[in-house]
Structure 1
Amino acid sequence: MSSNKTNALSRRAFLRNSSLAGGGMIIGFNLLNSCKPKVVAEPTIDLASLDYNDFNAFIKIAENGAVTIFSPNPEIGQGVKTSMPMIIAEELDVAWKDVYVEQGILDTENYTRQVAGGSQSIRHGWDALRETGAKAKHMLVSAAAARWGVDPSECSVSEGVITNAAGETLGYGDVVNEAALLEVPEKVELKKPRDYKIMGKNAGNVDIDKITTGKPLFGLDYKTDGMVYAAVVRPPSFGHKLVSFDDSEARNMPGVIDVVTIGEKVRSLLAEDPSFSSKISSSDKVVVIAKTTWQAFKAKDAIKATWEEETPMESTEQHNKILTDLLDGSKFNTMRSDGNIKKAFAEADQVLERTYESPFLPHNCMEPMNFYANVTSEKVHLVGPIQTPAWKAGLVAKMLGREEKDILLEMTRMGGGFGRRLYGDFVIEAAEISQTINKPVKVVYTREDDMEDGIYRMAIKYRIKAGIKDGKVTAYHLKEAAVNDNMYGLIPNFFPAGAIENYQVDVASYKSNITTGAWRAPYTNFLAFAEQSFFDELAEMMEVDKIQLRLDLLDKVKPEDDERIQYSPDRMKEVIKMAVEKSGWGTKPSNVYQGFVNYYCHNTHVAEVADVEIENGSPVVKKITCVVDCGIVVNPLGAMNQIEGGVIDGVGHSMFGELAFEDGKPTANNFDRYRLIRMKEAPVVETYLMENEYSPTGLGEPTLPPAGGAVANALKAATGNRLYVQPFTKTPELLKVPEKEIIG
């Protein structure tokens, strides 16, 4: 397991104070352009004069042979701070145990896509990260070969030691200064998967020691001299605005430094960038500044604020009616239309139509929202947990009227994100507060702040209709009605697109004051349950095998004839077949009820089988068998963690997750009223990874969406009842087991 050091210095100061000041090598390549010709290195003997800003993907090699690799992307728990350096280290040919990992800071000039979202970090960086390591290795070998007076092809490398044909050896540290003078090669040969020594082997999280011993690592841990804390009094409901407030009691409380208001700069920002308006309130807010978080929280509760209703208050009952009206209406945007569904339905022998319903969901990250800001005339220093650092730095620059080069943003490890930390409303608040009080400040949310003024998964309803003619599925119509963004629930070119001749996807949305956005596995987290439940019921109507129906449909898909198709029918069929085999599908004892799904999202193919048993008269999810095709697996241990976590998250939210609204306010603001899956309810997850040499695809999200469908189909087998509404416990009468099953 590698060591890890905290990157707490400025970029220039880091180099001047590191062991490299007396000699060493830094190699940087644009992560997505490193393979382009005429890539020029910036090596020099006087490394202290180098500007860290001038480099991109970094490999630091000291004269003693120590190797530090910088991880550029935000670490949200998905493991990229471990896996991205592993890719570089593999091609660099160093021993992983000797590698130090540093978290990179935001650097828009030299890094690209510094984002934690969409399960895309490894997929987008795969080729460039490998080339980064391979080009560095080539330069080091060339330097050693020149010293020996031999051709580089006569040299081999193992764990940072270069050996020539005569058996002589040099370590990377021995030739690092000479290598730094060489040009970066335009092309290099990359390793074959069969030759991997680091990738494909289990590697522990590079931050695990700090995580388990409580050392500073997360945003909440960050402190600076003179820093104060801010707690924000927020509107009590979506649609309210501040009228007045009485802060006399709060100002006299221990530790309170000041009470201020913010909002003007946010409104200016929203006027300039309306796309952010659905993510943050434009109302003025009252802010308590104190010496500690506890003092700020207590004083915040003492503020007596008066609010007025700016727009009508919304409720879950109202949303349900609006979404149903949208499904029944005719105002849709058609995302894809193949053939003629009207004609196909008119000619069908049988038609199946079902409606599925999902609620709003909060993110409930373990680490509450927080961020540090210090706005001065020289620079804007931002530090904290954020999934989209470049976007937030740009918004802060806009809001403050600064140049983006004035923004220094450092990323900390995140205690959960799941999409909530994509938007960074807390970053905007911290920057405005710091400028207002002229002090370094950290904004910290309470759990109630996070749940009452969050950015939620939107409520959605799907209506799916299929037509059957002569024993074949001839028509398929999917309609979506969503609160706010209608593209977060729907992908028109996923399965069964391309499998049914007459196929149409329509979307409609309702604009709400309630802030909504991405939630883990956007587009698919609820759609997978709806579609996969529907396919099971469709097979029952057709009186055909449920899995064979899916395989037959996949046989009809021809991606070579339709470039819109995003999934591979062949890879999907393989995960289906393995899931059938590994789960013991159809061979379990009579007291085990199984449910099957297959799904594609975030470029990954997944099949899951849920096992449900009856305990004390109720169905209990005991096991999920999960088969995943995500291409080459960089770190199997990290992959298993992501897969199992995604499955349990999917099971838990489909069973229990719900956030209702009354008068524009959530009905739950902490875990005493919001139901999460408990440890004793988590099923065993048995995971299988397909072995192939395809480039890696997403893994942080793809196993969550199918879990709900697998459970729903297994519950149908156990109870005889179909579920159409999430969470499943919302309709407890449908979870009742027939008397004969209880007796049996």
Structure 2
Amino acid sequence: MENIKNSRRNFLKTSAVASFGLALGISGFTKDASLKKISAAILKLEINPFIIIDTAGNITLVNPRPDMGQGSTQAVPSLLAEELEVSLNKVLIVQSDGNGKYGSQTSGGSSSVRELWLPIRKAGAAAREMLTTTAAKRWNVPVSECRAEDGKIVHTTGKSLTYGELADDASKLEIPKEPKLKEAKDFKIIGKYNQRLDVPERVTGKAIYGIDVDVPGMVYASILHSPAIHGKVVSIDDSETKKVKGVLQVIKTERTMPHRTSEAVAVVATNCWAALKGKKALKVKWDNAGYEKSLNNADYFAATTEAAGKPGINFEEKGDFSAKFAAAKEKLEANYETPFLAHAPIEPENAIAHVKDDGSVEIWAPVQGPDWTLRDVCGYLKVKPEQVKINVALLGGAFGRKAYHDFVLEACHISKQVKKPVKVIWSREDDISQGPYRPGMLSHMQGFVDKGKITGFHHHTIGESIARQVFKGLKEDEADSWIGGELSIENSKYQFDAASKVSWTNVKTDIPVVWWRSVYASNFGWGQECFIDELAHLAKKDPLKARLEILPDERFQKVLNTLAEKANWDEKLPEGSGKGIAVFKSFGSISACCITVTKKDQGVRIDKVVSVIDCGYYVNPDNVKAQTEGNIIMGLTAAIKDGITFTNGICDQTNFHQYNILRLNETPKMEVHIVDSGSVPGGVGEPGLPPIAPALGNAVFAATGKRIRKLPFDINNLG
């Protein structure tokens, strides 16, 4: 709780009083580093965390990536501890607060390790060199006779000095620009199984999540949103609400999203239960005119299907695909559809905001990025960054949802009116029925084969653009560049001898969208890998061999061959059973999956899932496997459970009884295997998901002969 209640500024102030020692910023190591660029409207975010070593020898890492379950509070300090030659339990974690000097602070895009791999290690190595140099000077011995070991610098004679004893003098040295990093063969922490030091508090309930945070003098707000999301308030009848003990006020408020602002009504009370009870008693008349059409699944997907019959905007093309497709003798064409999906993190959206009379603002919230939160709060309240303090708690899941700050801005709006710290907690119904969602997408696929080989391939991606709706960064005549992150030849490595093409059509909607675990890769992996399977069968080729033919890249080959071995791809299966495979690269990692199914009554049973991932260098293999297992569960859920649908402007799903997730008794056997390629680190939290649905679809075809092209589908009744 101390880390939540004490600000980063207070921490630094307290540390300074205790004799600061060595404070090492690493911005010098990250020049020109940035997250993926999707348009000029997207900010370039540089990584810039800090390492602090005080005179008592305490080592503090300002962690720039909030932990939402992906393990950043283990992974990031592991990089530092490795180079500093200390054990993990000697590194104290303090979460960054959004201050610009810490650079990029958003957990997303599976970026924590792959973006911090060199900067954090270089910072640790630089600190080690500075401490070693300081000790050598004190002893008047060559640096080569000194080594770092367990928080000390040790001389060949056995004498030693602790980091704390050296910190002040070391801080006066110039920071080495290119410190020598440890070689992989010398790693003691990175790549090894290490106990997660953060797990005991989480499983015993001692860990503090956003929903647990308490601030003196705060009140609670429960918000009634329009069933049609963007509906307007016509009238409010709060007569019954005000009879509820503990209710203080009923106020009209607003929900500010990147693409528009919607009206809402908040019940403010002395406690959470009173606010909820008051909300249930509230009667609001809404004007939902016009949203029956703009918030409608059937109309949206009808528009995507219509777009499939027209040319899209080219993102990439090799050869004249249209001409060669027209002339091809053996060809296929099909549409693959993926639904809107809610994130549904276990901890729903919540935030505490205190907008004070002096213009200062303090936020306590489980957000994926304090830097983006700071930006959004400043823009919304028209205040300066130095007036805002962001306190980030642990996140009880997010999957992209908690980098969308509508719930934080709601708390700000209400606090400004009631002039108190206000805690807003969304209900599960709010979370599922209000969005934002993974966009529903259509993949219009075309391809052809020649002499038993897949030689032509076109992926026409169709749907709403996150870049357009969230960032307003997409022109009408340009393709969404995020599709290239997964489907370009440079990324996918598929080589088609005759022609290939990736195109885009933006079908707009008022349904709010944002990234969802693995972003577009979960949409487009379905179309790409199922259609590759279709073309393989058209070519009368084994689906694995057909892929190996058009994937000359060594890493892809190793992943697929490892999958074939671990999943026993060539084994003869009994009638009614089948295996399906898929491979996809996203966020710098290659993941492949093989799923085995067996006919059961009118459907199939999922028997086993084998996943193989090449994520380059990684920190902890146990975490890689855990994240991949999570991707398997979420990928299967997205394939066979409920999607989000809208009828007459209103979301049809409100809670887990209508938006089901895979249950324990439905979970198949799982195996995860890691390919140690020694490549630069890729992501782990998301890449394991995209191959799951297509591997399942291909397995269903292998077992039943039925080709599934629309998600979700009923695995118990294939029709």
Q: Secondary structure in 2 aligned to 1:284?
A: strand
Aligned letter for 2:547? R
User: Is 1:291 the equivalent of 2:291?
Assistant: no
Q: Once the 2 structures are TM-superposed, how far is the Cα of residue 359 of structure 1 from its aligned partner?
A: 1.4
Mean Cα displacement is larger for which, 702-711 or 96-105?
Answer: 96-105
Structure 2 contact 228–291 (Cα < 8 Å) conserved: no
Q: Deviations over 1:170-217 (max 9, x none)?
A: 222232222223222222100000001111122333432221221251
Aligned runs of 1:68-83 on 2, under 5 Å? Answer: 68-83=60-75
User: Is 1:342 the equivalent of 2:327?
Assistant: no
Structure 2 contact 453–546 (Cα < 8 Å) conserved: no
Partner of 1:44: none
Cα 1:17–1:392, aligned 2, differ >3 Å: closer, same or farther?
Answer: closer
Structure 1 contact 5–100 (Cα < 8 Å) conserved: no
Q: Once the 2 structures are TM-superposed, how far is the Cα of residue 84 of structure 1 from its aligned partner?
A: 0.7
Mean Cα displacement is larger for which, 55-64 or 92-101?
Answer: 55-64
Q: Secondary structure in 2 aligned to 1:524?
A: helix
Q: Once the 2 structures are TM-superposed, how far is the Cα of residue 220 of structure 1 from its aligned partner?
A: 0.3
Mean Cα displacement is larger for which, 310-319 or 122-131?
Answer: 310-319
Q: Secondary structure in 2 aligned to 1:525?
A: helix
User: Is 1:257 the equivalent of 2:238?
Assistant: no
User: Is 1:29 the equivalent of 2:9?
Assistant: no
Distance in 2 of aligned mates of 1:211 and 1:509: 42
Distance in 1 of aligned mates of 2:698 and 2:30: 47
Partner of 2:313: 333
Distance in 2 of aligned mates of 1:119 and 1:715: 30
Q: Which residue of the other structure, out of 506, 512, 521, is the alignment partner of 2:503?
A: 506
Aligned letter for 1:166? T
Aligned runs of 1:296-445 on 2, under 5 Å? Answer: 296-313=275-292, 314-330=295-311, 332-376=312-356, 377-445=358-426
Structure 1 contact 447–670 (Cα < 8 Å) conserved: yes
User: Is 1:659 the equivalent of 2:682?
Assistant: no
Structure 1 contact 7–102 (Cα < 8 Å) conserved: no
Distance in 2 of aligned mates of 1:174 and 1:389: 34
Q: Deviations over 1:360-385 (max 9, x none)?
A: 11111100100111111152111111
User: Is 1:136 the equivalent of 2:121?
Assistant: no
Aligned letter for 1:687? V
Q: Give percent identity, aligned residues only.
A: 32
User: Is 1:599 the equivalent of 2:584?
Assistant: yes
Distance in 1 of aligned mates of 2:402 and 2:520: 17
Distance in 2 of aligned mates of 1:26 and 1:75: 26
Partner of 1:244: 235
Aligned letter for 2:123? T
Q: Which residue of the other structure, out of 116, 130, 137, is the alignment partner of 1:146?
A: 137
Q: Once the 2 structures are TM-superposed, how far is the Cα of residue 429 of structure 1 from its aligned partner?
A: 0.9
Q: Once the 2 structures are TM-superposed, how far is the Cα of residue 97 of structure 1 from its aligned partner?
A: 3.1
Cα 1:573–1:622, aligned 2, differ >3 Å: closer, same or farther?
Answer: same
Q: Secondary structure in 1 aligned to 2:633?
A: helix
Aligned runs of 1:152-171 on 2, under 5 Å? Answer: 152-171=143-162
Distance in 1 of aligned mates of 2:361 and 2:55: 35
Partner of 2:532: 535
Aligned runs of 1:206-221 on 2, under 5 Å? Answer: 206-221=197-212
Q: Which residue of the other structure, out of 674, 679, 682, is the alignment partner of 2:659?
A: 674
Distance in 2 of aligned mates of 1:35 and 1:388: 19
Q: Secondary structure in 2 aligned to 1:456?
A: coil
Mean Cα displacement is larger for which, 132-141 or 170-179?
Answer: 170-179
Partner of 2:471: none
Q: Once the 2 structures are TM-superposed, how far is the Cα of residue 730 of structure 1 from its aligned partner?
A: 7.6
TM (norm. structure 2) is 0.91
Q: Deviations over 1:567-613 (max 9, x none)?
A: xx221111011111111111254265211111111111111111223
Q: Which residue of the other structure, out of 705, 710, 713, is the alignment partner of 1:720?
A: 705
Aligned letter for 1:94? V
Structure 1 contact 160–171 (Cα < 8 Å) conserved: yes
Cα 1:5–1:430, aligned 2, differ >3 Å: closer, same or farther?
Answer: closer
Q: Deviations over 1:697-734 (max 9, x none)?
A: 11100010101111111111221211111112189234
Partner of 2:38: none
Q: Once the 2 structures are TM-superposed, how far is the Cα of residue 255 of structure 1 from its aligned partner?
A: 0.7
Partner of 1:10: 7
Q: Once the 2 structures are TM-superposed, how far is the Cα of residue 94 of structure 1 from its aligned partner?
A: 0.9
Aligned letter for 2:692? A
Cα 1:239–1:167, aligned 2, differ >3 Å: closer, same or farther?
Answer: closer
Q: Secondary structure in 1 aligned to 2:367?
A: coil
Mean Cα displacement is larger for which, 517-526 or 615-624?
Answer: 615-624
Structure 2 contact 83–182 (Cα < 8 Å) conserved: yes
Partner of 2:39: none
Structure 1 contact 5–102 (Cα < 8 Å) conserved: no
Partner of 1:93: 85
Partner of 1:198: 189
Distance in 2 of aligned mates of 1:11 and 1:336: 46
Distance in 2 of aligned mates of 1:184 and 1:415: 38
Distance in 1 of aligned mates of 2:264 and 2:198: 37
Cα 1:335–1:35, aligned 2, differ >3 Å: closer, same or farther?
Answer: closer
Structure 1 contact 139–182 (Cα < 8 Å) conserved: yes
Partner of 1:43: none
Structure 2: which 5+ runs fail to align? 33-46, 467-478
Structure 1 contact 26–58 (Cα < 8 Å) conserved: no
Aligned letter for 2:276? F
Structure 1: which 5+ runs fail to align? 38-54, 271-275, 556-568, 735-744
Q: Deviations over 1:506-540 (max 9, x none)?
A: 22122212111111111110211221111111111
Distance in 2 of aligned mates of 1:464 and 1:137: 54
Q: Once the 2 structures are TM-superposed, how far is the Cα of residue 243 of structure 1 from its aligned partner?
A: 1.3
Aligned letter for 1:302? A
Q: Secondary structure in 1 aligned to 2:520?
A: coil
Cα 1:446–1:319, aligned 2, differ >3 Å: closer, same or farther?
Answer: same
Distance in 2 of aligned mates of 1:371 and 1:78: 21
Q: Once the 2 structures are TM-superposed, how far is the Cα of residue 241 of structure 1 from its aligned partner?
A: 1.2
Structure 1 contact 69–85 (Cα < 8 Å) conserved: yes
Aligned letter for 2:140? G
Distance in 2 of aligned mates of 1:165 and 1:731: 69
Partner of 1:577: 561
Distance in 1 of aligned mates of 2:673 and 2:238: 58
Partner of 2:52: 60
Distance in 2 of aligned mates of 1:388 and 1:175: 34
Distance in 2 of aligned mates of 1:409 and 1:15: 15
Q: Secondary structure in 2 aligned to 1:687?
A: strand
Q: Once the 2 structures are TM-superposed, how far is the Cα of residue 342 of structure 1 from its aligned partner?
A: 2.2
Q: Deviations over 1:102-121 (max 9, x none)?
A: 2222221x222211111112
Mean Cα displacement is larger for which, 156-165 or 134-143?
Answer: 156-165
Q: Secondary structure in 2 aligned to 1:355?
A: strand
Distance in 1 of aligned mates of 2:10 and 2:89: 27
Structure 2 contact 438–513 (Cα < 8 Å) conserved: yes
TM (norm. structure 1) is 0.88
Q: Once the 2 structures are TM-superposed, how far is the Cα of residue 239 of structure 1 from its aligned partner?
A: 4.2
Aligned runs of 1:660-739 on 2, under 5 Å? Answer: 660-729=645-714, 732-734=717-719
Aligned letter for 1:542? A
Structure 1 contact 35–186 (Cα < 8 Å) conserved: no
Structure 2 contact 337–709 (Cα < 8 Å) conserved: yes
Cα 1:385–1:657, aligned 2, differ >3 Å: closer, same or farther?
Answer: same
Distance in 2 of aligned mates of 1:576 and 1:166: 52
Q: Once the 2 structures are TM-superposed, how far is the Cα of residue 128 of structure 1 from its aligned partner?
A: 0.7
Aligned letter for 2:595? A
In angstroms, what is the RMSD of aligned CA positions? 2.2
Distance in 1 of aligned mates of 2:290 and 2:421: 35
Q: Deviations over 1:257-288 (max 9, x none)?
A: 1111123xx67xx7xxxxx11xx5x2322111
